[in-house]
Amino acid sequence: MNGGPVSEADLQAYVDGRLTPEREREVAEWLVERPKQAERITAYRAQSLALRSALASVADEPLPASLDLRLRHSPGATPFPARQAGIAAAAALLLVLGGAGGWLLRDITSPPTTGTAMLAREATANYMVYASDSTRPVELGADHRRALDDWFSNRLSRPISSPDLEPVGLKLIGGRLVATEHGPAGLYLYADGHGRRVALYVRPMKIDKNDRMVRRQGEGVHGWTWADNGLGFGIFGLEQAETLHRAADMTRRHYLAA
């Protein structure tokens, strides 16, 4: 391992997604052989997620006037117009904040048309179109799993296979090939015990050939993206935060071990 032995600090930084992509891959590989540690890391990530979720709405609460700096002015000294303008500005700011909605997202700093940020948008769009389709969400069903994997492998010119996600309660429904600006992408759909759908989206990457696992959110859909060895992945769903994370870890291990 090039970066030296994996330390506890490395593991903490891995939980927080703060390692360089190279080191992150090394730690991910290290964890493949240490299920106990991997389980601990998964639990830590679930904690962070639960904490963020529990406190997320605080940042979206309307700002009380007492906490709004723009509403402060010393009498007579301010060139700014009356309170109404301030309130309008506050409302505008709230809209901006609400739109940015993902205080927890790194999308803001990522280029919007390339890399895993773009992949996240494609995956979200596909999730919204196909996961909600009750008539024909998939082109090939799970009973043709092998044919589906071969189809994706052919079109993406990479060995692609659907990971077994039953340990986290997700059953494969099937999949379909979808079109992107960057060529074809594979979309697998899974369902949990309540029938809620989870999408695994995969396509080759030209830019972020290796990228850390990043949490994404938009349009009410959320999940994780990452890239290893030129292949980009996204796992997306609705409410199942913990399931999604565990599924993402499991898929990543599935491909790293392949």
Partner 1 sequence: MSPLIVQRGMMRSMNPNSELIATIQPLIPALRRYARGLMRDRSEADDLVQDVLERVISRWHQRRPNGSARAWTFRILHNLAMDRMRQRATRAAPGPMDSVPEDRLASPPTQEDKIRYDDILSLIAALSEEQRSVLLLIAVEDLSYAEAAEVLDIPVGTVMSRLSRARERLHRMSAGEDTDQKSPMLRIVK
Out of 2, 33, 66, 109, point to the residue binding partner 1 (CB under 8 A).
66
Out of 60, 133, 166, 219, point to the residue binding partner 1 (CB under 8 A).
60
Residue 44 to residue 42: CA distance in whole angstroms: 5
Closest CA to 24 of 11, 37, 35, 41: 11
Out of 37, 114, 153, 180, point to the residue binding partner 1 (CB under 8 A).
37
- Looking at the Cβ atoms of 52 and 146, the one nearer to partner 1 is 52
- Minimum distance, C-beta of residue 93 to partner 1, in the bound complex (Å): 7
On whether the CB atoms of residues 116 and 232 are closer than 8 A, the answer is yes
- Minimum distance, C-beta of residue 14 to partner 1, in the bound complex (Å): 11
Residue 83, number of CB atoms within 10 A of its CB: 12
Strand, coil or helix: 208: coil
Out of 77, 82, 257, 258, point to the residue binding partner 1 (CB under 8 A).
77
Say if residue 165 is exposed, middle or buried (CB neighbours under 10 Å; 0-12, 13-18, 19+).
Answer: buried
Token pair for residue 209?
A: 């050939």
> Could you give the C-alpha distances from 98 to 36, 58, 103, in angstroms and in order?
39, 12, 9
Residue 57 within binding range of partner 1, rule CB under 8 A: yes
Site mask, partner 1, residues 212-251, x = CB under 8 A? ---------------------------x------------
Token pair for residue 161?
A: 């296979």
- Minimum distance, C-beta of residue 182 to partner 1, in the bound complex (Å): 29
Can you say how many angstroms the Cα of residue 184 is from the centroid of all Cα atoms in its chain? Answer: 20
> Interface with partner 1 by CB under 8 A: which residues?
5-9, 11-13, 15-16, 18, 37, 40, 43-44, 47-48, 50-61, 63-64, 66-70, 72-74, 77-78, 93, 97, 103-104, 239
